Structure 1
Amino acid sequence: MTGVGVLSLAGVVVNNAIVLIDYYEQLKEQGASVRDALIEAGLTRFRPVLLTAITTVLGLVPMATGVSFDFMHMRLDTGSESSQWWGPMAVAVIFGLAIATILTLVVVPVLCSLQASMKERAAIRKAAKAETAKV
């Protein structure tokens, strides 16, 4: 079940990163500088990404700890068979999502900035080579 948790986690994480990068690209197309677009995209997407992660983690805590509520007898149950089956999946999603949220909000903007810097340096080198070839 841990594998199922990792697969479901990948969908959430990729979606968050895609939305962040898409908004960054839209801001760049509107004429914002790379730095301003990254800051604005990060600030705008921070709350939705964090809320998605927090609600998912809080929703999975009972499954990970093995606590469930028996509505037929109106009591809390712990250590049921289903929690032993689904617990590893919940733990994988909880810890994976906690780490991936940090990566989404920190590493993705850094990589976007790095990509823009490399494109800028390549353009400068190309212009320098063209200038050297003219002389």
Structure 2
Amino acid sequence: MFQTEYEFTLPMGYIDADGNLHRDGVMRLATGADEIVPLKDPRVQSNPAYLIVILLSRVVIRLGALEMINPKVIESLFAADLAYLQDLYNRINGNGTRSLKLVCPHCQQGIEVELDQPGES
């Protein structure tokens, strides 16, 4: 079966206005519109770095008990969590690396392991 949603746990977590910590969430695969529509947003046009904020607010579909994920939530994440989500986005949407460099814990030999892309088995 083709996987379109990916669970994650943020390294630090989002703290809402009431002080509640939200770490577990779900990100869905991006559509063409998810990558195109934010380019028309004036916040992105005036600051291209803001693109990832809009993009993540569209594809993160659950974060803890929050009812809505919007750009303000993504803006309020700790930098480590933002980097984590950006890396997850790149990996599940095929924009990241397809391999990991690992070291064998027994012989200390370096190896490179190919990763399956979403939809591969």
Using structure 2 for the length normalisation, give the TM-score: 0.30
Larger radius of gyration: 1
- Tell me which protein shows more strand as a share of its residues: 2
- Tell me which protein shows more helix as a share of its residues: 1
Higher RCO, 1 or 2 (CA under 8 Å, sep at least 6)? 1
